[in-house]
Structure 1
């Protein structure tokens, strides 16, 4: 009788111990016999659909930097060095953007992409793709409105809205700011960009006019006719004329002994 009772007590004790171990494995980790629970993470505001898939380890975007001796608004680099910067407005069909990036990389060119925040919301994976290709990424406002025509509050929200998305996706607010729908920033937008963390506004001295869909030949003639040492060229991802013209432009850049580099490389 005593033997059976002892066996029952032993089995009960073993089951209790096993249950404690299983509970510990499910809810936390055992530390010296104590079960500890992982702290709950605070709730955060909801993010746009698809944003999380682009987060995680990857190439971090460079932060903005100040170039001593250069104006706040920069249109071109040194005329003494055989370099040019091809800068792209980041919006439109991502398939076209991927073709531009692939063509540039085959030619050894490095681009500067000024991304629209709404575009990053819809296609967050593009931020990682741009950086992983060795290109640099900047801010072209959140909604691509006429930022120069907005009041101070709305203009600042356009700049900082895109900056927040860039930081979430890349760890940085991006290397450059360029105003949307304008070649240059007004004094107000220039000040707001500085307040948001951008020491300079990236303008350009060569406008491809690709947004007017003039045709491949017209885009090629416009750019090659004005291109020279230190040029900053304005182009756009979402136009088929640009996609078709880019290989011709890259060939001409190489023929002239120029190098296509990022805007930061152009100025350093």
Structure 2
């Protein structure tokens, strides 16, 4: 994956809707784009969508900071059996994050720097797994857009690069076909194309984003600046099925078949993976707490649901009959809808926290609407009810964001900074020692120490006769 010097306003604002569209959910297209790239065709066959909730044992590895001066959010999937692919994604994400944090530390003024790494599934069927990671930003002069696909061959038990989809003896013909389809397109020229493919040893880095379309073609997407002028953005080329099929490797042929006609199940040779139990706690009825008469507090949890921690948190809350508000990230909702249903069933409120956790104030109104509407749709699909509240990532809110949605924004009055201090006792004390009546407390259910702090918070505040309510209930009864 090549690093290019790009202008943040050009790519972060101009490409986010396109990049996020590449993340697959239960609807839409996994490899489609919200806006056509210079090298793409508006009538090109889409990449078939994948429902991640059908992947047994799937965990989404998410992390982020809430430091607005150097904001970052990362996610990638951990699929049972595909350890080598998971490790490859983890290595790349950690390297990107380390470079970003280093650039923030070195910059005289890192204000506004952001790194966002999101994921989407290309295929998860038979013995084939395909995942795309989309990176936006990176801070400073080097901010930009890049994408990479990660493949796993369950039959061989091996991680595969995108280039491994093409047989080694057919790569020259494949590259020639790509160059032929790129020539003459706006922003490209023969010299640039020759330079892009001049060194065969660098092909894996240049051709690192490939996915099969629903009709069997192989779509290759190039990061900005790779095969054309940077201002032109990304270029996509689709080699039709009839042309590309003879060039595919054995693994590529299997990946093509599973992309065109998914078998309906994924078997990567992993030992049987038990499905984590989803809590069955059920609210006893509507909350009749009158916060005008008693002392209330609204506990809120961002960035989930998490298969590792959210179920435990729901159990803790149920033990005290406490209600809370969960501001969920869309790509986690589509992966774990049962957990979102469990939140609602237990009497909690589910709000919108965007689809991939970008700073919404850096986007235009269309891109903001896309992030929020896609998440609201996922929540409604999981629970039957669309959310009414949203919390902007990093608390970043401006007039553009407000105008792009009818959702009511929710910030907070007490920040535990639990992302910064992975210490359960410290997190609990940050609430118990500072909380005031009608506070909205910010926490996260993707951190084990944050969830571990909840029992002490509930115990200590219950002893002081606090009542735990949702944000909407607090607002309606204050």
- Over aligned residue pairs, what C-alpha RMSD do you find? 2.4
TM-score by length of 2: 0.39
Q: Deviations over 1:48-88 (max 9, x none)?
A: 415589xxxxxxxxxxxxxxxxxxxxxxx978740000011
Q: Distance in 2 between matches of 1:216 and 1:144?
A: 24
Equivalent position of 2:458 in the other structure = 250
Deviations 1:88-130 (A, max 9, x none): 1142631211111110011110111111000011112111111
1:263, distance to aligned residue in structure 2 (A): 0.9
Query: What's the offset of the Cα at 1:264?
Result: 1.5
In the alignment, what sits opposite 1:133?
Answer: 346
Aligned to 1:185: 397
Trace 1:80-229 onto structure 2 (pairs within 5 A). Answer: 81-91=294-304, 93-182=306-395, 184-194=396-406, 198=407, 200-229=408-437
Choose 1 or 2 for highest CA Rg: 1
Q: Which runs of 5 or more structure 1 residues have no equivalent in the other structure?
A: 1-43, 54-76
Q: Return the alpha-carbon distance in structure 1 between the equivalents of residues 409 and 326 of structure 2.
A: 14
**8 Å contact 2:414–2:439 — kept in the other structure?**
yes
Larger RCO (alpha carbons 8 Å, 6+ apart): 1
Give, in angstroms, the shift of residue 149 of structure 1. Answer: 1.9
Give the direction of change, closer, same or farther, for the CA distance of 1:137–1:47 in structure 2 (3 Å limit).
farther
Three-state SS of the structure 2 residue aligned to 1:112 is: strand
In the alignment, the residues of structure 1 paired with residue 361 and residue 423 of structure 2 have an alpha-carbon distance, to the nearest angstrom, of: 29
Q: Hey, what does 1:38 align to over in structure 2?
A: none
Which residue does the alignment assign to 2:68? none
CA change 1:81–1:48 in 2 (3 A) is farther
Q: CA deviation at 1:223?
A: 1.4
User: Residue 94 of structure 1: SS of its match in structure 2?
Assistant: coil
Select the structure that is richer in strand: 2
**Structure 1 CA distance, aligned partners of 2:429 and 2:53?**
39
Unaligned runs of 5+ in 2: 1-26, 29-47, 56-289
The TM-score with structure 1 as length reference comes to: 0.68
Q: Which has the higher helix share?
A: 1
Distance 1:52 1:119 in 2: 13
Paired with 1:246 and 1:263, the residues of 2 have a C-alpha distance of 17
Aligned residues: 198
